[in-house]
Amino acid sequence: MDMDTLFEAAWQVAHNSYSPYSRFRVGAALLAEDGSLITGTNVENRSYGLSICAERGAVMAAVSQGKKRFIALAIAAPDADYPVGPCGACRQVLSEFMDSAAPVRFGGRGAERVNTTIGELLPHDSLYELGDK
Ligand code: THU
């Protein structure tokens, strides 16, 4: 599966977002190493701090389905004019299940896309340096 297809899946799932407080929809699509695609969207709560990002939602769904290695990630933020990258907490959680070289693409409603890797998003991660990945 190419990154265009993965980004399109993230874009579609963003429309399922439950984000009445921020009005900021986000979708995430993970490509598992078996070739399957798992998506997630942000789910907010009136107790704001309980809100879950799209990326972590996708990881929780995937692991629940028995998928624990991801080879690519796309994030779509259709309410943003700019590409929206994952928050720090999500970078940490994603790095648990992805190699540092795994490609990541993110974008908003404009044409700009950022193409990067988990390792660039979370440099000097302890697990990479320990050689455990
Ligand atoms: N959000 C995500 O789901 N992923 C990101 O990468 C950035 C932020 C969500 C959290 C919150 O529901 C809303 O976007 C506004 O921050």
Ligand 1: nearest atom to the Cα of 44: 12
Query: Which residue's CA lies nearest to atom 5 of ligand 1?
Result: 86
pTM as predicted: 0.94
Ligand 1: nearest atom to the Cα of 54: 3
pLDDT tens for each residue of 34-57: 999 999 999 999 999 999 999 999
| pLDDT for residue 125 | 81
pLDDT tens for each residue of 73-103: 999 999 999 999 999 999 999 999 999 999 9
Ligand 1 centroid, distance to 17 Cα (angstroms): 10
Whether residue 132 has pLDDT greater than 70: no
Beta carbon of 42 within 6 Å of any ligand 1 atom: yes
All domains of the chain, ordered by start, with CATH? 3-129 (3.40.140.10)
Ligand 1: nearest atom to the Cα of 41: 3
Distance CA 20, CA 68 (A): 31
* Pairing verdict, β 113-117 and 70-76: unpaired
The residues annotated as belonging to the active site are 55
Distance CA 113, CA 103 (A): 13
| C-beta of residue 19 within 8 angstroms of C-beta of residue 25 | yes
